[in-house]
Each structure stands twice: as structure tokens, then as C-alpha cells.
Structure 1
């Protein structure tokens, strides 16, 4: 029998122990595990913050060697349910598994883009030769679009817990690739988070009173030093945004904070950051549950957005600061959409039909909450099981466009914030990304909205006059 993943999620229609079943998914192979063993998931883990959900994961014991690569794989084997007290924490097993030919069919987003996009996608999956230089049409698109990145740590702007890294070039790659503006983000909770042995980021301790406020001052100062040292313009209001959008303008930044942990429950610090650090883009939460609300990668505490979080959103609306709900739960985003009077941003994520319990991917319903405010969802260049190519990235962007509409999708690179290999990891590749969007089937005007026009609209609706 073909076993749908819905059966695991609902508990209905599960096969009896010993039944022969077929199951299709993506293989996750933990380190130091024997050959012939893997964990099958409905979709690839997306990032450091994700972990396999035992309720939606199947241990696979292969009859022979496991198939190469993450897949997706279609497997057949004998079904077993593990006892609740199993020490490993897993709940399901597929024993004596063997690989079958995949029966996956293209989704509606691929059919919508028709044959114009199908060839490049299949080529990317086959790891074909390096793409040719971007065409004159792609370069003209970049010049007209004024590309923008909704979330970036370019230049190694993040203040490290252990050592102070030298800055990398930011202005030069932006200028060479035509990237016009980036939301350059410091990270608010770094002193209290760690990378676990299984490569997740999570909070491991509570901060001391005032600790994250003091950290924010140092982190904003590092960002300011990078900006000044490389001659980057800072967009703070409508006039500076118009200047940044002029043809031939140099690279610019919007000062952003990934997490508002440094507020520590004190609203007056928001206006202080606006004045002292030119903050104009605030992500409410990151990798620790803070005073504003719950995060996707940890157990909920607040049932979404807190009352203080709602106060912060209202203050951001008043002060001209973009509100970013990345890393927040569906329930946080739902409440934020009810509170805000300005468009929301969800700066870096990807679309999934069924995200895992602690996944950073989001559903179409989650994305539509942001779109309903007039906002923008930034698609990140993590490709899961797919090869990290610009063609695959353009396909992921197309999936998001099909879910929320062309007016509500942008680029959220998380530049230098990812350990996995991204499909878009250098601003010099911006013309090649434009080429991939055109090859995906987007008209130039559509691609221009994705590359920068949609975020520019949100900034224009939010920044002070």
C-alpha cells in the first residue's frame, strides 16, 4: 500500500505492523550512523534551526546500501511502529527497505510556468554545465529593477561571540552585480545562542538583565563601522529612498535588527535605536522566545504575539520602522497582521506544503497572512534536497508567487547567515539571478517586482517623510 504522510500526522489510516508499504520522502542521514540507515522525512530540513519531528519521520533500515543523496526517494519495505518508550525517540520504522523508481509528478507551479521553465529546471536537477553569462536582457532588467535584499549579514557584520572577524567587501560586490539596497542586519541574541552538535541554533541560557541591550550597542556600532568604511548610503526616510532608487545610484543599506531582544520589555529603547542607530527594519524574534512572542524553532510559550509585541508593532508603525515577522510562529504572524497598520515583511523563508514541527519553512496560509497586509515574503536560497542552483532558486520563488501573488514576493538571501550552501551567495550573481527568473517564465516587469520593486513599495509605505 502507498502510505501518505498525512497518515502519520493524523494517526488515521496507518498500516498494521508487518505490512508492506511504499513511502516517498527525503533522506536525512545523521552523522556517525551505519551505512544502510537513514531517516525519511516528508521534505528536507531547511536550516540550522530545524530538527526532524519524530511524529513525521521514519527510520529506514535498508536491505542493501541506501540510495545516494537526499532524494526524494520512493521506498518499499515492512512497516513497524516503535514503542512509546523507545530510547531513540523515533516512532516509526521501515525495515528491509529498497528503492523504487520515483513517481513524483510536477506540481501546479511548474505546469503554470509551462515548458519555458521546464527545461532549465530539469537541467539544474541533472547538475548540468555552468550557466552562460547573463544576457543583455538580464542586465537591462537589473538596471531597471533596482534589486533589493530583504535580509543580509553581508560583510560579516554579525558580532561574533568568540572573535571579531575582519569585514568582507560589501559595496564592491553590490555595485558590480547591480544590487541596489540591502537590509543589513545585526543579530540581537547571539550571546545566548549556540550551534548544537546536530547543527541547530538554539538558546542555551537566559541573558542577564541588560546584557542584550549592551550587546546591541556593540552590534549596531559594528554595523555602522562597516557602512562608514565602505561608503554605503543609509536609507532612513522617503527622500533617501528616492535617492537610492535613482538610476546610477550607489549601493545603500537599511539598518536592520534580527530580533528585538535588546528591548528587554522597554518600549522607549525602540525610539532610541531609531535615533541613535538609524534602525528602520526590525525583526521581532530570532532564536530565543523573547518578550515579544514565540518562535518557529522552539516550543511556544506565549500563544503567538505578546501584548508587548503588539505595542512594539504599533510603535514601529508610528516611527517608520518595517516590521519583520521572520522566525515567528503562524500565530505570531496572524496576530501581527491584525495589529499592524503598515505592510509586514517576512524576510527569509521558503514555501512548504507541510513544514515540520520546528521548521523555518512556512505554509501558503502563513505567507498569505503577510500578503494580506500588502507585505512581502522574502524567499531564501536554501534548496533542501535540490541542487543549490539559481534555476532551482527561481523555481522556489515561482512557488511562492503562485501562493501569494507577484506583488508579495522578494529576495531574502540571508547572506553570510547560512552554513548550508546557498543558491545565491554573492551579490555579483544578481544578473544571473535575473536571467534565471526570466528563464523561469516571469515577464521583465514581474521579475522587477521580485528583485526589488515589492520591497521598495513596503519601504515607501513605511518610512517617515
Structure 2
């Protein structure tokens, strides 16, 4: 049985008591160093004990069968699930836990018939022009708080053939917490707090770029020239909360920090509009949100409506003169409360602007790279069209595991896509579509 982090706190996790389960998560940085047998597993990366969520149902205490080596990214563990009725300590434990090994490339090639992948496709290299619409790679979020150290970004990109990524600061981070299995605003921000946080986050992104020798893309021509041999960054912000209702701060971010990709909202209904995971308070997009879209169109900033509900997207589509991006999501046909997935009409509204939708590699939806390609990408193409779908990994930002945890894994995704799409179509999905939108939006 496989559990996802959204199961915690719900009946499905309770009914799993005593059963053998699999779960994917991140080992707390202060734990499992040098081979521990007892440590904590969380839905997203942490860098210190203070990063542990307050909610006892949002953490799994792991009791391993034997000492385990620390993993740099997400790990999948198999063990006996235990649910405690005690209010003291953690609600969930995983006993007799062992790591589930990822398949090596050789193993994947040997087992390719099981995945309907021909062996020649598995050996296929990418064209070195892939672009990720949304990423938090390099441990940017902890770095924005002045904690931890950076992780490799450029080298995995070179290995996988990724030319550029939209690397996002998270503007509402100081007030967001994992609560009852969902990321939610924990309080109202203090005046100036989120702007001040952005003045630490943007410099952290630039420092990461310098450290790893990654150029920052400022123009359409620079993205056209970008190749995996020298990976590049597009400065993005997940949420425009740092504006705090002041449009002049958009100009400042453009000029001072090279902001070229702006997501309007994140996990807080803000001055620009509503979000998918909280009740509506603005009926979609606010007048200030419309003003920001018009200013982004004029200046040359990609407008991203990820996390925005359908009402926000419809109003944004009526305002924008440039294609919209929805950088990380996936398709669903079943409406559900607080989901980050989108319905077909939501996807078609993005496509109608000439925009692109980034597909999320969430393992709860796509347990492996083959499902990610043949269900995630292919189903969205069926709805939105081949010109309107792209790669949106949300690397190191997922609450849960990733079907493509490293950029070095991109050739596996490319091979899986080639079972459904030709070479030209695959190139569009892995970067060409976003390059077109970027060129239409950025001078």
C-alpha cells in the first residue's frame, strides 16, 4: 500500500495501521547523519530542527531496520505503519523501515518492455534545450532564510540536458505552515514583512547563480541562446506578496533583481487575488491584480497564474495581452476541495491565451516517470493541445515525492514521451512551448 502526505490526518492513514506501506519524503537534516536508525520524515526538505511542522500528523517517525545513509533528496521507505492514539509525540511511525531503491538506468533498460519503452528510446539523449517552468532547486528556500547550504543545480542540468529553469523565491514563506496536511497561511503578515523577506530571497538566488556559474536570463534573446552546456536561471517569484499593494515594487524587482517570471498568488489570498486552496475572498482577481498583469505585459514579465482558481484565470485571461503560464499542476476530471489540480476548462482557458501549462511530477498522481509522461503530459495534451504543455517540476517544492527528482533524470522522461510523441512534439513539451511564451512576453 502506498501512502501520500495528503492521506495523513485522514481515514486512509488510520486504516493502514499495522499494514506494510510505502511513503516518500525528506529526512530531517539534523537526523540520519552517518547512518541513524531513528529519524523523522517530512513532506518537504528541512534544514534544522526548527523546520519540523508543529502538526504531529504532518511528520512520520521512522524506526529503520538498520542504520541508513543520509539521502540528498527525497527517499521512498517501506515499512510497517503504526498509528498512535497517544497525544504525546508523533501521530505516525514507520517500523522496520527499509529504503526502496530507485531503478538504475541499466535496470530500466532491461525492464523496458514492462513500461512499453523500446530499448533504443531509453538511450536517447535530450537536445540540451529543455526549460523547467517552475523550480526551487539548489535549496533556495532555506538559503532565503539564511540557513543551510546550496545543493548542486548546474551539474544535474548539464547531465540531463536542461538549459534553463525558472527558479522561484517564495514571497509568502514567513507565514506559511503545513497545517492539517495542507500548506496554509498561519497568520497575517506584518506590514513590510514580506517585502523585507524578498530583499533576502532575491539576493540569495543571485548568490546561488554566481556560485554555480549560471547566467541569469534577462531577455528573450538570452533564452533563445541558452543551452545545457552552460545552464541558466530565470528569476521568478512564487506569489507577488512582496509587492504589498505597491506597483512600483514590480519595477524595482524587474530592474534590480532581473525578475522575469511572476506568479500572482501562492498559499495566501493576497492583494492580487484568490487561491485554489482557501475560500474565495476576492471573486478571483482583484483590480490591483489586473493592474499588475498590465504592468507585467508592458515591462516584459511572464505572468503565471499557478495556484489561482478558475475565476482568477478567467479574469486574468480577459486582461492580459500576452500568453499566460500556469507553471505547475496536472489535469483532473473530478472537482475536489482545495486541490491544486485543474479541470479541462481551466486548462483550455490558459491555452486560449496562447499560454503553456507545466506538468507536475507528484508521485501521488504519477508514481514513476512513465506515468508522468503517458498520463500527466499526454492527458493534458489531449485537452490543451501540443503547443500548450510544458515541464513544471517544482523541484524541492513538492509536498511529497517526485517522479523526476533530479534534472539528470530528464532523458528517462524524454524517452517515455517519445512513446507517445515525435521528436518535434517532445521538444515542444520539454522547453519549446515555454520558450515561445517567454519570447512573446519578454523583450
Question: What's the TM-score bracket when you normalise by the shorter of the two chains?
Answer: 0.7 to 0.9
- Do residues 173 (structure 1) and 156 (structure 2) align? yes
Tell me the distance in 2 between the aligned counterparts of 1:151 and 1:463: 17
Structure-2 change in CA distance of 1:161 and 1:204 (3 Å): farther
CA–CA distance in 1 between the matches of 2:255 and 2:340?
32
Match of 2:395 in 1: 415
Q: Specify the SS of the correspondent of 1:304.
A: coil
Which of 257, 261, 267 aligns to 2:237? It is 257
Structure 2: distance between partners of 1:447 and 1:165: 36
Report matched runs for 1:338-417 at 5 Å.
338-384=318-364, 386=366, 388-395=367-374, 396-417=376-397
Q: Distance in 1 between matches of 2:285 and 2:235?
A: 23
Structure 1 residues not aligned, in runs of 5+: 1-26, 38-47, 50-68, 70-119
Q: Indicate yes or no: 2:147 matched with 1:164.
A: yes
Q: Is the 8 A contact 1:203 1:287 kept in 2?
A: yes
Report 1:37-56 matches (<5 A): none
Task: Describe the superposition over 1:11-39 as per-residue Cα deviations: whole angstroms up to 9, x where unpaired.
Answer: xxxxxxxxxxxxxxxx94646965479xx
Corresponding residue of 1:208: 190
In structure 1, distance between residues paired with 2:217 and 2:16? 54
In structure 2, the partner of 1:187 is 170
How far the C-alpha of 1:227 sits from its partner, in A, is 0.4
Inter-partner Cα distance in structure 2 for 1:375 and 1:404: 10
Map 1:78-93 to 2 at 5 A. none
**Which residue is 1:154 aligned to?**
137
1:222 matched residue in structure 2? 204
Match of 1:96 in 2: none
Moved more, 155-164 or 332-341: 155-164
Q: Is the 8 A contact 2:112 2:118 kept in 1?
A: no
> Is the CA contact 2:158–2:229 (under 8 Å) kept in the aligned structure 1?
no
Partner Cα distance (2:16, 2:435) in 1: 50
Give the Cα–Cα distance (whole angstroms) in 1 for the partners of residues 143 and 177 of structure 2. Answer: 11
Distance 2:222 2:426 in 1: 24
Give yes or no for contact 2:165–2:234 (8 Å, CA) kept in 1: yes
Q: 1:308 to 1:171 in 2, by over 3 A?
A: same
In structure 2, what is the Cα distance between the partners aligned to 1:34 and 1:313? 45
Q: Deviation of residue 158 (structure 1)?
A: 1.3
**For residues 438 and 131 of structure 1, do their structure 2 counterparts lie closer, same or farther at Cα, with a shift above 3 Å needed?**
closer
- Provide the secondary structure at the position in 2 that maps to 1:286: coil
Is the aligned partner of 1:446 residue 2:428? no
Question: Cα–Cα, structure 1 residues 123 and 30, in superposed 2: closer, same or farther, change >3 Å?
Answer: farther
Match of residue 275, structure 1, among 223, 243, 255: 255
Q: Is the 8 A contact 2:144 2:204 kept in 1?
A: no
Give the Cα–Cα distance (whole angstroms) in 1 for the partners of residues 284 and 113 of structure 2: 40
**How big is the shift at 1:162?**
6.6
CA contact (8 A) 1:161 1:191 kept: no
Supply the distance in 2 between the matched residues of 1:225 and 1:133 (Cα, whole angstroms).
40
Question: How far does residue 250 in structure 1 lie from its aligned partner after superposition?
Answer: 1.3
Q: Secondary structure at the match of 1:356?
A: coil
- Aligned equivalents of 2:154 and 2:360: distance in 1? 21
- The question of 1:296 aligning with 2:279 is answered no
CA 1:448–1:460 in structure 2 vs 1: closer, same or farther (change >3 Å)? same
More contact order relative to length (CA 8 Å, sep ≥ 6) = 1
TM-score, structure 1 length as denominator? 0.70
Number of aligned pairs? 348
| 2:224/2:435 contact within 8 Å kept | no
Residue deviations 1:63-116, cap 9 Å, x none? xxxxxx9xxxxxxxxxxxxxxxxxxxxxxxxxxxxxxxxxxxxxxxxxxxxxxx
Matches within 5 A, 1:106-117: none
Q: Distance in 2 between matches of 1:451 and 1:187?
A: 24
d(CA) in 2 for partners of 1:438, 1:159: 36
Give the TM-score of the pair, scaled to structure 2.
Answer: 0.74
Structural RMSD (CA)? 2.7
SS for the counterpart of 1:232 is coil
1:298–1:372 distance in 2 versus 1, CA, 3 Å? same
Mean Cα displacement is larger for which, 151-160 or 251-260?
Answer: 151-160
2:261 is aligned with 1:284: no
Q: Is the 8 A contact 2:145 2:200 kept in 1?
A: no
